[in-house]
Amino acid sequence: MKKSITISIIAILAIPSLAFASWWNPFSWGIWKHHSIEIAPKVEVEIRAASSTISATTSPKIIKKITVKKVEVKEPIATITQPQISTPLIVNATIAPAIPVTTTITPVTPLITQQITQAPMIEERATADISLTGSYPSNIDRQNNASLWNALLTINYGPITINSLTIRIIGSMSDSDLKNLKLYINGNQYGSTIENIGGDFKAKFESPIIINSGTTRIELIGDNVALSGRKFSFKLYENQTTDSFGTIRISGEARTPDQTVN
Every domain of the chain and the residues it spans: 38-82, 127-261
pTM, to two decimals? 0.54
Handedness of CA 256, 260, 261, 262 (dihedral sign): negative
Angle value at C-alpha 34, between 33 and 36, nearest 5 degrees? 140
What are the pLDDT digits (tens) for 22-71? 555 555 555 555 554 555 555 454 545 444 444 444 444 544 454 545 54
Measure the CA–CA gap between 229 and 109, rounded to whole angstroms.
90
Rounded Cα gap, residues 167 and 218, in angstroms:
11
Q: β-pairing, 143-156 with 127-132?
A: antiparallel
As a whole-number percent, the residues of the chain with pLDDT over 70 amount to 53
Cα(39)–Cα(61) distance, integer angstroms: 7
CB atoms within 10 A of CB 126: 20
Q: Residue 50: what pLDDT? A: 44
Cα gap 223→194, rounded to integer Å: 11
Mean pLDDT of the residues in the chain:
75
Domain 127-261 fold: Immunoglobulin-like (2.60.40)
Are the CB atoms for 254 and 237 separated by under 8 Å?
Answer: no
pLDDT, greater one: 16 or 167:
167
